[in-house]
Chain A
Amino acid sequence: MASGDLFSIGTSGLLAFQRTLNTISHNIANVNTDGYSRQTVDLATRPPQATGYGFSGKGVETVTIRRSYDAFVESSVRSSTSATAEFEAFHALASQLDNVLANTDTGMSSSLQRYFNAVQDVADTPSSPAARQVLFNEGQQLATQFNELADWIEGVRGQVNSEIQNGVNEINQISAAIAELNQAIVIEQGRAGHPPNDLLDQRDTLIKDMSELVSVTTLKQDDGSVNVLIGTGQVLVRGNTATSLGVIQEAGDPNQLGVAVQGNGGVVVPVTSQISGGRLGGVINFRDQLLDPSSNSLGLVAIGMGNFVNEQHQRGMDLNGVLGLDVFSVAQPQVLTVAGAPGNVSVAFDDVSQLSNSDYKLQFNAGAWELTNKLTGQNIAMTGTGTAVDPFIAEGMQIEIAAAPANGDTYFLRPTRNGAMDMQMVLANSRQIAAAAPVRSVSATANVGTGVITAGSVTDINNAVFQSTPGQLAPPVLVRITSATSYDIYDNTNTASPVLLEAGIAYDPATGAELFPTPGGLDHGYRMHLSGAPLAGDEFSSEYNTGGIGDNRNALLLAGLATDKLMYGGSASITDTYNGLVVDVGTGTKQAEINSLAQKRILDQTLATRESISGVNLDEEAANLVRYQQAYQAAAQVISTANSLFDTLLNAVRR
């Protein structure tokens, strides 16, 4: 054995252990570096030398420096990161709605209640200016509260929009950085023939950062580069080129931002609906599943309130003796043009009780209009033909098409989106509150029978009887009992000589009779019920409620709107509808919280697994430090031994 071999073997050990100690120091230095994977030096024996007495070892060599890394675990980390970020973003936004809607100061619940209580107070003292002023103020307050809550929800929408804007910007930056790293990795790997571990770690960290923004899939290429895809296969990074995402407005609505990719030849392809996972997926989901329906529900409550209060108020008479006016302005449905002529589709309310909190898509396909629920994608049947005289009727809307459409024409319909935002009180003063009914009945003082007649209630205020002459019934009627079982109805405009309208109407004292509609089909738009046993010659009449400032019949009916089942096809009251919104948001938030906690646990688990494989343990490194330090010292000792062997030999020769 030559002492040269000893030197060579000793040196190989020294070199190998020096590299190992380097790597250990590198590990220690990067103990707190995000995304760093522990590196180890793979050592192997050098090819041995064949001799006559067998194979003689030639020392150690460094095969490669390897990072501890598991591709499967890394991809689990990415997908749990995406899922966690998605639910956390959803939950963060949802809990903002959650905290505000049921709050007594900010929610609508107490405002609605206070309004109806004020109506009751007016019913108690209809001519009291104080009670009226309180109701007037509560009406203004209610409208303002709707506006403020809607503003607040729009503020949350603003956050969604800036999240989308920021998310897209960040994704673009990360894509560009990944593309650059791809290029560097391909070059380095080709040059050295070994994986550039630290660059790979950096790229993995970037991909993980991106998966926090949006769910990604990666495809590893043979040259060491990685392609990154989102959604249903939109390529963000291919080799060393990155594709930018852009922000677009949905159907020209600046408040509804979406995501698009730059397609071939500069074509912008919307991909909003394909975005899933990550913060971006979370905020988009939040907007589609919770924010839009909530905004619409609030609008629906405002529209229901405005519509039904107006309807009932118009049936009343105010302190000035004129018919009730609108109390609130009611926002009209919103139509957005996606494709086709703007303004070709107009939408109005047909029946507020049939409205829902959904948005719709109206599309002209293969010669027919199709209406779909935007969230569920469900097809909705429409009746009618879409003309002005016979509009399409569906979901409480009437839809009118002005001109012939082209295939593919698409419109988004948002029937209730602006309901709360645009609600306003339009009464000018508290005298205009219509607490009284505009009709009253009179039993002649000289009546001898036991007949009684109800005060009367309005069924159709648009009847010409109310509308043709302000402050009067045109005409008032007189009921003259002709026998115990019959009566005549007269036009009582001229009380001195009433004009016969219908004679010989049968009367049954057991059941009484409703004045209108008469058997002959006459209907004056109000109801008065005659009962008891009137006798021939008895007279009852109807007249305009002139001077009836103490009447509260209409106020009582207005107060009843608080509990009347007016919404959702007669299944929910106005306050129920608002409570439904609170429970929807509460449940949505709760669900997001549970999901986010569950995903966080899974993420923690995968991160622990990743760390157990790739993480640096300082105790372990310390032990290795000692171990390789000792090995290094031993190898140095080999050199020293070889040296003394050589000296021994030289000394022997010199003597």
Chain B
Amino acid sequence: MRISTSWIFQQGVNAMLDQQTALAKTQQQLATGKRILAPSDDPSASTRVLELDQLIDTSKQYQRNSNYAETRLKLEETVLTEVGDVLQRVRELAVRANNGTLSAGDRNAIAVEVRTNLDGLLQLSNSKDATGEYLFAGNKTGTRPFSDGGAGNYAYDGDQGERSLQIGPTRQVSVGDSGDNVFMKVDDGAGGIGSMFEALYDFAVDLEANSPSATTLTRLDSAIDEVLNTRASIGARLNTIDSQRNMNDSFDLMLQENRSTLEDLDYAEAVSRFERQLLALQASQQSFVKIEGLSLFNYL
């Protein structure tokens, strides 16, 4: 086939342009470490990468939620441990107070200590977390949940709500226990229920009257049980969070791997491609110069 002089030139130029385009792309891939530079490079993979990004982000958020839930539950557990300690101390006092050899004065002294513990208990039940929310107010976290109405009347002003956090795609965990459940549902020694505070208050009043009641121990034991039950439930929830967090971690790892397979560049392949393309460009540049130098006019 005939070939025209300008076409020889154009073909040489086109070849160099094409190779430069390919080279520039490989260079950009090497610079970013990414195989996919725009969705059109691999539309289905790049959408998958977007989805994976979203999943990875979501799973990171679940980890944040888990961490927050853990912090909050551990705080609650710490407070409840102290509550348990207070109750245990009062129980010891109750055992001591039942000793028939004690004088009215001795009992009065114990009563003072019981009242101090009652104040401590009330303070603990009104504990706040780091963000200033009352721990045991249910969802009314801005409302001081427990108040002393005087004469052994203690009111609960929170509600029965328990906040749940999303710690996995399908798993929510409750991060609080309403004070109503923890402090207000203790056996009152008369077949009904009452608050822990009442139990301590009544105990102190009995001591001051120098007539310890037989039901005090029952009431205190019920209170201790209540606290232990709640702590057990917190422990179970902490375990749940732990196992969910492990699951989230391995899920996250799997997602990252998937993403890397889809998006990341195979450097070995890319570098050898780069070398090949460089060679091809140099070859076309050299052949261009040689061919362009050829002309019959040179010999006329």
A residues sitting closer than 8 Å to B (CB atoms) are 31-32, 38, 94-95, 98-99, 101-102, 104, 109-110, 113, 116-117, 120-121, 123-128, 436, 440-443, 445-446, 455, 545, 547-552, 556, 559, 562-563, 575, 579-580, 582-583, 585-587, 589-590, 593, 604, 607-608, 611-620, 622-623, 625-626
Contacts and interface: CB of A to CB of B under 8 A. Distances in A.
Contact of B295 (A32, A443, A552, A618): A618
B184 interface: yes
A32 B64 contact: no
A98 B40 contact: yes
B222 interface: no
A99 B40 CA distance: 9
B1 interface: yes
B277 interface: no
A109 B54 contact: yes
A2 B183 CA distance: 143
Contact of B6 (A126, A446, A547, A616): A616
B251 to A, nearest CB: 15
B7 to A, nearest CB: 4
Contacts, number: 193
B77 interface: no
Interface bin, chain B: 35 or more
A124 B4 contact: no
B53 interface: yes
A619 B160 contact: no
B53 A589 contact: no
Contacts of B133: 125, 127, 550
Given A109-B53, A548-B161, A618-B297, 12 more contacts: A110-B53, A113-B57, A445-B184, A445-B185, A445-B193, A446-B192, A455-B161, A545-B159, A549-B141, A550-B163, A583-B46, A612-B7
A297 to B, nearest CB: 13
Contact of B297 (A38, A101, A547, A622): A622
Interface string B37-72: 011111110110011011001100100110011000
A626 B184 CA distance: 118
Contacts of B192: 446
Nearest to B36: A102
A131 to B, nearest CB: 9
B53 A113 contact: yes
A582 B50 contact: yes
9 contacts: A102-B46, A559-B166, A582-B46, A611-B7, A612-B3, A613-B2, A617-B5, A618-B5, A618-B296
Interface of B: 1-7, 11, 14, 38-44, 46-47, 50-51, 53-54, 57-58, 61, 64-65, 68-69, 131, 133-134, 137-143, 159-166, 169, 172, 176, 180, 184-185, 192-193, 295-297, 300
B273 to A, nearest CB: 18
A549 B140 contact: yes
Nearest to B159: A440
B164 A612 contact: no
A124 B68 contact: yes
A31 B139 contact: no
Contacts of A113: 53-54, 57-58
A442 B165 CA distance: 21
A436 B163 CA distance: 10
Contacts of A109: 50, 53-54
Contact of A128 (B50, B69, B131): B131
B154 to A, nearest CB: 12
Nearest to A576: B51
Contacts of B143: 547
A544 to B, nearest CB: 11
8 shortest A-B CB distances, which residue pairs? A615-B4, A550-B141, A586-B39, A586-B43, A589-B40, A551-B139, A622-B296, A548-B139
A617 B39 contact: no
Contact of A548 (B11, B140, B297): B140
A607 B134 CA distance: 81
Contact of B65 (A124, A551, A586, A622): A124
Contacts of A616: 4-6
B163 A611 contact: no
Contact of B39 (A548, A575, A585, A611): A585
A32 B159 CA distance: 90
Given A127-B133, A440-B159, A445 B180 contact: yes
A551 B1 contact: no
Nearest to A614: B4
Contacts of B184: 445
Contacts of A120: 61, 64-65, 166
B131 A586 contact: no
Contacts of A611: 3-4, 6-7
A32 B6 contact: yes
A596 to B, nearest CB: 12
Contacts of A552: 163-165
A585 B43 CA distance: 8
Contacts of B43: 582-583, 586-587, 590
